[in-house]
Structure 1
Amino acid sequence: MNEGVMATHCILVTVKFFRLISWTLLIPLLFEKVTAQSSICQQLDPSPNLQMFVDALPIPEAIDISTGDKLTLGIYKISQKLHRDLPSTTLYGYGTSQAKASYPGPTLKATRGIVSHVRWENHISDSSHFLPVDTTIHWANPKSGGVPIVSHLHGAEVESASDGHPDTWFTAQGETGSKYVTQDYVYANSQPPTMLWYHDHTVGITRLNVYAGLVGIYFINSPSEKGYNLPISDFEIPLLIQDKQFYANGSLNFPNVGDSPLIHPVWCPEFFGDTILVNGKAWPYLNVQRQLYRFRILNAANARFFILSFNNSKLSFKQIGTDGGYLYKPIVLSTLTVAPAFRVDVLVDFSSLAPGTDVLLMNSGPAPFPSGDPAQSPNGTDIVMKFHVVTADSYATGASSSVPSTFQPDAAIDIKDVAVRRNLTLKEFDDSSGNPIISLLGNHHWIDPVTETPRLGTTEIWSIINLTPDAHPIHVHLIQFHVLNQQSFDATGYLNDSCSLSLEYPNPGSCFTENPRQPNVDQIGWKDTAITWPSNVTRFVIRFSSQDGSSFPFDATAGPGYVWHCHILDHEDNDMMRPYVLL
């Protein structure tokens, strides 16, 4: 470990220890009270035994926000049935009223080139969160109590005042974060058609608010898409996937005892649930006709990666899009790797299956990713949902759709125009027992001064050096980027200063163990979130302009600025997030 890392590690441990020294007096009591009512990090009591495939897949209500009218979406405390045999669960949900609030929230449908206006309101009157808050990590911490929230439209080209900056939170009691500007957000919808998603982004408790239900889907559509003859209406279906854990009374089970309680009494490095939900139902089923379907898949989990496949060899995925919209041409895949925050646009053709056939959507993603611990993937996490093939009762709109051979050409970013190259590290710091206590980007904390200040309109290469044992899905706000390449290296040698990673690309440096390789198939196309594998350098080519290379239709240099972070929410909440400002 080099001197800089050692110093940071010692400071972290020392400061946290003395700030929490009183915990040494409470530890015996703490473990004495670890009963069925306590939830130890990654040792949660199993959920009740629930029968799979008894609930039909719900389709969230859709709201057209291309009318020019302002939509008001409130955040409410709700109670909702997530499985036929499970008592109602307390959640937070988005909705146009208390009666209509739901998990997931309504699907918002925008039209490219038409500005949308959304007012976000907080109607949670509780004095504190219903999930355990760890006050030892940096968080919103409203002085007057309440539940702070702020909504981020993930993947959007949007002015920073409407981006859901983590410090622009607000409570129902009227308290606001240090960078609060407004609750009236303006979405330009100027980027190519794609699937985005909105979710809470409050500093230090994003993992709690998203787990509690504050997620929803957002489509940017375009009249130009009609020429593709893709499935529409009942044949175009969003699949929002999360994992959760439950108590017998239906309430959410979330860790309230951390893995390093002397330092962080509650915070857990990664949450993994034993129950898979799609669109707010545990292991649902969907009746499908012998037709072509379009599934718009979102991984909205806190930390779980999914590797999706079918248990029927006659079926495959024809991927046509990713985070930033359409691929140039479909890619036929037997498996889909879907990291947290990834969106995957796929076509699936059920026409070869006989009526009455059941097909399971399976998951083989290890947790943590990619090393895996079998205890974090118990029985049930390998199954997502069921498709049941039926005979069509009548012709439905969209049944005559087809698979296009190509879409719009992918406008590549010219790396000859690169203005700046940045080497940015991902580092984990552990306690004396080897338990993670914090992860940092570039060895900086969230509250440290801004270090990334790209110039508007320029192109940069960010080399993300992953020195941790986990894969991290790194998300950059405002823009879509391309993954240039990936390259493995000797992380131990680098940390021991026995070899080097050259700052001058493509001069390899002595730590690299291979030449740069093409990005994995799940990293192809326009991305706003990409996987950075352990002991790898993953290079992002980022052009700080609109996706098509034009200027933004707003002032992207105006405050409060943007952020980049790991989208494992437990990491993001504990300092694996950094601000950046465009000049």
Structure 2
Amino acid sequence: MANKSKTSPTFGHSSNSIVQIAILVGFLCSLPVIQGQDVHSQCGNLTASPPLTPFVVPLTLPPVIDISTGVPITLGTYKISQSVHPDLPNTTFYAYGTSQETATYPGPTLEAKQNVVSFVRFENHITDPEHIFVVDRTLHHANPPNGGVPIITHLHGGDAESKYDGHPDAWYTAAGDTGPKFVTRDNVYPNEQPASLLWYHDHTVGMTRLNVAAGLAGLYIIRSESEDPPFLPSGEFEIPLVIQDRQFFPNGSINFPDIGLPPFAHPQWCPDYTGDVILVNGKAWPYLDVQQRVYRLRILNGANSRFFTLFFSDSRLQFLQIGTDGGYLWTPILLSNITIAPAYRVDVLVDFRAVPIGSSFFLNNSHADTILTNTTTPTTNYVMKFNVVRSSGRKSAQQNVVVPSSFGPVPNISGWASTATLYRNVSLVATLPPVFNLSFLLNNAHWTDAPTETPQLYTIEIWDITHLIPNGVHPIHIHLVNFLVMHTQAFNYTRLNASECSLQLPYPDAGSCFTQAPQPPNPSEIGWKDTIIVNHGTVVRLLVPFFPRSGQLYSFDPTTFPGYVWHCHILDHEDNDMMRPLAIQPPPHA
């Protein structure tokens, strides 16, 4: 599809199919669904966004703030009005910025340097007495006595002391109320980890899905003079892409559910919020003019629950993945498509030199709308448009791009595994009505239960994460550390649930529930990760070192108050108890 018509289609569709509700209801033991009213938004059956003409808004880049100078900066959260598309009135967001006037959705990109400490103060200037979305008070949530909108910012993927990690119970409001584990608004980020793309977002207990959907997210880049190859695309040829989804009312406001599923258990909570409009850097289906050059795309899936499988409409274009959550891969991987779960980051090169000037093509998405359906909304099949244009200069200088065949040594996973001090079995489970309210849990434990994941500092653990929920996919995120995927192994969920087999017996034993031998990680999940997809009916084995990637000691004490967490990064699940403390213990013989 090298040459597309310049005429843009109009995206408009009916409400999400009631079939999706039927599927979800079947999953929830055939619970009844209350039909939504015009003044409400029903989980799984939101009124469609107004028809919008795609590819008419140019891609914008978030402002950049250099935080490598040693000078502290202050980012506030503010209520702002911002346009996502000319066919819609402005949308109200909560946003980060150095002032009310400079606040943007997404927030500014913070650029740090490896081994140079950054100081960032996050202030709360959102003075709304109530959130712009309805708060479901049947969930365990931040409940400030004087009202208002609580926030706490987490640097996702960052190695930092836990009081700077954005603990969910460390929230605070503009009125001065604080959560039980609040310590400070002033954050110290050592930036001692490898060069990588991180992101910051709100992490308030029971309200993360609301605050992120309202706009509280931004990118954080660690650069390294010693690690960054000198001949990768940079400047105008390095493009950050924050991909999210939203649904909108005709007045421009965000359509977020206020009728839950099942409503008698959780009146407002929805298991998976997905929208029918794809936003990139805060714009609906934008376009970007590119030259016949190699571009570096730094991509974040910042959605609440939507997965994306990205591919180009032109088969000549592929992704050369050079990095993942934790930084550079040891070997670049050429991919025709790439699946990114919520919180995944990918660092890819795209070579436009073979595409003729005047051509247009699309970055598309083929992933189903929700984890419980196999359907897609037509409007979500497109992400953005690229137009190949002539260089604006009289003579375009030859671009000198050199991609190393290796970015470093391959980790000795088997060697490290042989020194592991603990095998830890953790599980993903769900409680279902009518016996319980619907919740997704880790190890059948609630957020408020005592910690059970208590690794010793400077040791290696092997985690087996077993998906024991009847359906769905869950991206699991572990704070503080990066890990490596050792393998994934499928099992027969039906037989296991009927106690007809065991996961303690290896494949191909007749009594084993496993249906295959252990499989290596998918190509896009090779490398150092902090978030990993766990599919239904699988066990994912992780090598988890509780020490820095350098192999040295942390410059701070990870055992101090208030501690870290691990959780599902479908934010709707995280807010409904799919999160647990991660209490790092002193090292052996400390």
Query: TM-score with structure 1 length normalisation?
Result: 0.92
- Using the alignment, how far apart are the partners of 1:335 and 1:363 within structure 2? 9
Superposition deviation, residue 397 in structure 1: 8.2
Mapped contact 2:195–2:228 kept (Cα < 8 A): no
Contact 1:481 1:527 in 2 (8 A): yes
Cα distance change of structure 1 residues 38 and 415 upon mapping to structure 2, 3 Å threshold: same
Q: 1:255 to 1:234 in 2, by over 3 A?
A: same
SS of the residue corresponding to residue 381 of structure 1 reads helix
User: Whole-Å Cα distance in 2 between the matches of residues 221 and 42 of structure 1?
Assistant: 41
* AA partner of residue 526 (structure 1): W
1:504-523 equivalences under 5 Å are: 510-523=512-525
| 2:308 counterpart residue number | 306
**Structure 2 counterparts to residues 486-565 of structure 1, below 5 A:** 486-502=488-504, 510-565=512-567
Deviations 1:81-134 (A, max 9, x none): 011111000100000000000100000000000000000000011111011110
Q: CA deviation at 1:407?
A: 1.1
Equivalent position of 2:105 in the other structure: 103
Shift in Å at residue 367 of structure 1? 2.7
CA distance in 1, matches of 2:315, 2:521: 26
How far off its partner does 1:135 sit? 0.3
Question: Counterpart in 2 of 1:389?
Answer: 388
Give the structure 1 partner of residue 455 of structure 2: 454
The answer to whether the Cα contact below 8 Å between 1:501 and 1:508 also exists between their aligned partners in 2 is: no
- Equivalent AA in structure 1 for residue 42 of structure 2: I
2:80 match: 78
What is the one-letter code of the residue matched to 2:462? I
Q: 1:372-521, aligned counterparts within 5 Å?
A: 372-374=373-375, 377-394=376-393, 399-413=399-413, 414-432=416-434, 437-468=438-469, 469-502=471-504, 510-521=512-523
> For 2:238 and 2:250, how far apart are their aligned partners in 1?
35
Instruction: Output one character per residue of 1:38-85: Cα deviation in whole Å (capped at 9) or x when no partner.
Output: 100010000010000111000010000000000100000110001111
1:505 deviation in Å? 11
Q: How many Å separate the matches in 2 of 1:485 and 1:225? A: 28
Partners of 1:94 and 1:396 in 2: CA distance: 37
- Equivalent residue number for residue 21 of structure 1: none
Residue deviations 1:326-368 (CA, integer Å, cap 9, x gap) = 0012110000111100000000000011111001000001132
Q: Does 1:283 align with 2:282?
A: no
Stretch moving more, 97-106 or 505-514: 505-514
Contact 2:116 2:191 in 1 (8 A): yes
Aligned residues of 2:473 and 2:533 also touching (Cα < 8 A): yes
Match of 2:155 in 1: 153
CA shift, 1:432, in A, is: 4.2
CA contact (8 A) 2:506 2:512 kept: no
Alpha-carbon distance between aligned partners in 1 of 2:423 and 2:505, rounded to the nearest angstrom? 8
Letter of the 1:90 counterpart = T
* Residue 406 (structure 1) shift: 1.8
Match of 1:48 in 2: 50
Q: Is the 8 A contact 1:428 1:436 kept in 2?
A: no
Q: By how many angstroms is 1:144 displaced?
A: 1.1
Residue ranges of structure 1 left out of the alignment (5+ in a row): 1-26
8 Å CA contact 1:308–1:363 kept in 2: the answer is yes
CA distance in 2: counterparts of 1:423 and 1:224, whole angstroms: 38
Matches within 5 A, 1:6-405: 34-225=36-227, 227-369=229-371, 372-374=373-375, 377-394=376-393, 399-405=399-405
In structure 1, how many angstroms separate the alpha carbons of the residues matched to 2:461 and 2:493?
Answer: 24
Mapped to 1, the partners of 2:374 and 2:408 lie a distance apart of 41
Matches of 1:431 and 1:270 in 2, distance apart?
17
**Kept in 1: contact 2:565–2:581 (CA 8 A):** yes
Q: Deviations over 1:309-340 (max 9, x none)?
A: 00101111000000000001211000011110
CA distance in 2, matches of 1:449, 1:275: 40
**Partners of 1:197 and 1:533 in 2: how far apart?**
24
Show CA shifts across 1:487-512 (max 9, x none).
Answer: 01122222332222229999997221
Partner secondary structure for residue 524 of structure 2: helix
CA distance in 2, matches of 1:432, 1:247: 33
- Partners of 2:557 and 2:422 lie apart in 1 by 22
Aligned residue pairs total 550
In 1, Cα distance between equivalents of 2:424 and 2:406: 34
Structure-2 separation of matches of 1:551 and 1:508: 46
Q: Which is worse superposed, 412-421 or 110-119?
A: 412-421
Deviation at 1:225, TM superposition (A): 4.2
- Deviation track 1:388-436 (CA, whole Å, cap 9, x = no partner) reads 0001022678932233222122334410111111111101222249x98
Distance 1:104 1:507, change over 3 A: farther
Q: How far apart in 1 are the matches of 2:510 and 2:180?
A: 43
- C-alpha separation between the residues in 1 aligned to 2:564 and 2:392? 50
Match of 1:16 in 2: none
Amino acid at match of 2:446: H
Q: Percent identity?
A: 53
SS in 2 for 1:409: coil
Residue 295 to residue 514, structure 1, CA distance change in 2 (3 Å) = same
AA partner of residue 456 (structure 1): L
Contact 1:56 1:285 in 2 (8 A): yes
- In structure 2, give the amino acid aligned to 1:99: E
In 2: Cα distance, 1:262 partner to 1:338 partner: 33
Alpha carbons of 1:102 and 1:503: their partners in 2 closer, same or farther (altered >3 Å)? Answer: farther
Counterpart-to-counterpart distance in 2, 1:133 and 1:277? 24
2-side partners of 1:422 and 1:397: how far apart?
55
**Following TM superposition, by how much is the alpha carbon of 1:189 offset from its aligned partner in structure 2, in angstroms?**
0.1
Structure 2: stretches of 5+ with no match in the other structure: 1-31, 586-590
- Residues 254-306 of structure 1 show CA distances to partners (whole Å, capped at 9, x for unaligned) of 00001111110000000110000000000000000000000000000011100
Please give the alpha-carbon distance, in whole angstroms, between the structure 2 residues aligned to 1:509 and 1:411: 34
- Between the aligned partners of 2:584 and 2:137, the Cα distance in structure 1 is 31
Report deviation, 1:438: 0.8
Q: What one-letter code is carried by the residue in structure 2 that aligns with 1:356?
A: G
Are the aligned partners of 2:41 and 2:255 in contact in 1 as well (CA < 8 Å)?
yes
Equivalent pair of 2:310/2:339 in contact (CA under 8 Å): yes
Q: Distance in 1 between matches of 2:532 and 2:111?
A: 25
Q: Deviations over 1:232-263 (max 9, x none)?
A: 00000000000100000000000000111111
Paired residue for 2:4?
none
Tell me which moved more, 248-257 or 497-506.
497-506
What secondary structure, in the 3-state scheme, does the structure 2 residue paired with 1:224 have?
A: coil
Instruction: Specify the alignment match of 1:3 in structure 2.
Output: none
CA–CA separation in structure 2 for the residues paired with 1:99 and 1:247: 25
Question: Given the superposition, is the C-alpha separation of residues 503 and 330 from structure 1 closer, same or farther in structure 2, using an over 3 Å criterion?
Answer: same
Q: Retained in 2: the 8 A contact 1:486–1:536?
A: yes
Contact 1:230 1:398 in 2 (8 A): no
AA aligned opposite 1:116: S
Q: Do 1:234 and 1:398's aligned partners in 2 also have CA atoms closer than 8 Å? A: no
Q: Aligned to 2:268, what secondary structure does the other structure show?
A: coil
Residue aligning to 1:579: 581
Q: Answer whether contact 2:297 2:350 (CA < 8 A) is retained.
A: yes
CA contact (8 A) 1:65 1:110 kept: yes
Report SS of the residue matched to 1:223: coil
Q: Is the Cα–Cα contact under 8 Å of residues 484 and 539 in structure 1 kept in the other structure?
A: yes
